[in-house]
């Protein structure tokens, strides 16, 4: 019996090294730079049957790969992959949901506590010797106690955040496109209505046309002078200019951000506010969680080429058995 050639998997640009290490055990791995163009000759491009990618995969790159069957994307969000082009050709796209839910939810709660209690600033006070020289760190003007938390996006991660907040004895409400009948949290039909009702807003929504700058001056004004904004979803959900104005003018009390619109660039003015806690997009950035994400990227590709079905397809793409 003739030995079947190993499928070729294209890896454009950087990805967790666990992905490439595991891919090499089962596939031929073709690595190329992640630049403006996909630098592949016609012969190489024709060999590619799968892609493992962390970041963008434009439609024009997909068009260069005539025998592509499956795209395995590293991360829950897959907006940087041209899913429309992939779906039009019957190419399956996968992402890595669930395996990072706990880590992101933990980080959201930690960022909220850091923001209201100013714990990073307190640690700096200690490390700089100011406790000994100047006395106790000033009392934090805010507390988590008695807050009403609104969650913008009650999907899998949003629900994990809500469940973690229940023991803190805060009130929990939410806004999504449709109410959930299986939960007892208060539902609000619009983001502005939610912001008016709560004093703490946690955003964990995907990057879609509808979420672009959804948290704008109107929403921030509705949140009010005791309001706290936490964004751990996508940077483009928040109108950063409106947020800077709101913090400068006291329209809201504080903000905690793990994501930004033009990462890794962070608006200089955000760095100057003492009532802002900032993280460099680290919500899922632990070795165990990133390893689990890497494994799911590879396992999706293995499943496809062994069974013709993937483990975690995105809803926009079909699952047609490989021929």
Cis preceding linkage at 264, omega within 30: yes
Distance CA 203, CA 264 (A): 19
Domains, in order of start, for the chain: 8-99+288-307 (3.40.50.720), 101-278 (3.40.50.720)
Q: What are 71's strand-pairing partners? A: 51, 93
Mean pLDDT score across all residues of the chain:
95
> Does residue 102 have a pLDDT over 90?
yes
Q: How confident is the model at residue 2, as a pLDDT?
A: 45
Burial class (CB in 10 A: 0-12, 13-18, 19+), 154: buried
> Does residue 262 have a pLDDT over 60?
yes
Q: How confident is the model at residue 35, as a pLDDT?
A: 83
CB 91 within 8 A of CB 68: yes
CB 23 within 8 A of CB 298: yes
pLDDT tens string 294-313: 999 999 999 999 999 999 99
Alpha-carbon dihedral 246, 247, 248, 253, rounded to 10 degrees: 110
* CA 93 to mean position of chain CA atoms: 17
> Does residue 1 have a pLDDT over 60?
no
> Does residue 267 have a pLDDT over 50?
yes
In the chain, what percentage of residues exceed pLDDT 70? 98
Report the candidate in 104, 61, 109 with the shortest Cα–Cα distance to residue 86.
61
Burial class (CB in 10 A: 0-12, 13-18, 19+), 28: middle
Whole-model pTM: value is 0.92
Q: Confidence band (pLDDT; 50, 70, 90) for 293?
A: very high
CB 260 within 8 A of CB 235: yes
Q: What are φ and ψ of residue 9, in 5° steps?
A: -110, 125
Q: Which residues are annotated as catalytic?
A: 234, 263, 281
Average pLDDT over residues 26-41: 92
Q: What are 191's strand-pairing partners? A: none
């Amino acid at each position: 019996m003739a030995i079947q050639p190993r499928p070729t998997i294209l890896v454009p640009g950087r990805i967790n090294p666990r992905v490439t290490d595991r891919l090499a055990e089962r596939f031929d791995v073709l690595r190329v730079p992640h630049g403006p163009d996909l630098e592949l000759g016609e012969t190489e491009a024709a060999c590619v049957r799968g892609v493992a990618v962390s970041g963008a995969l434009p439609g024009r790159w997909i068009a260069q790969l005539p025998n592509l069957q499956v795209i395995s994307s590293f991360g829950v969000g897959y907006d940087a992959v041209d899913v429309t082009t992939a779906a039009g050709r019957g190419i399956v796209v996968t992402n890595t949901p669930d395996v990072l839910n706990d880590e992101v939810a933990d980080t959201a709660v930690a960022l909220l506590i850091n923001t209201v209690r100013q714990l990073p600033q307190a640690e700096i006070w200690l490390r700089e010797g100011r406790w000994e020289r100047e006395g106790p760190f000033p009392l934090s003007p805010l507390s988590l106690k008695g807050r009403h938390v609104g969650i913008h996006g009650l999907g899998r991660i949003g629900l994990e955040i809500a469940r973690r907040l229940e023991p803190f004895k805060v009130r929990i409400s939410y806004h999504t496109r449709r109410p959930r009948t299986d939960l007892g949290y208060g539902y609000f039909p619009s983001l502005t209505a939610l912001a008016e009702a709560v004093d703490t807003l946690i955003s964990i929504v995907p990057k879609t046309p509808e979420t672009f700058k959804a948290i704008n001056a109107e929403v921030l004004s509705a949140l009010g002078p005791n309001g706290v904004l936490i964004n751990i979803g996508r940077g483009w959900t928040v109108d950063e200019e409106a947020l800077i104005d709101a913090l400068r003018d006291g329209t809201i009390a504080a903000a905690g951000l793990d994501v930004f619109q033009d990462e890794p660039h962070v608006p200089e003015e955000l760095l100057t506010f003492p009532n802002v806690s900032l993280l460099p997009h680290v919500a899922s950035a632990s070795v165990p969680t990133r390893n689990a994400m890497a494994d799911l990227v590879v396992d999706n590709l293995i499943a496809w080429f062994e069974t013709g079905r993937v483990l975690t397809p995105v809803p926009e793409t079909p699952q047609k058995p490989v021929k």
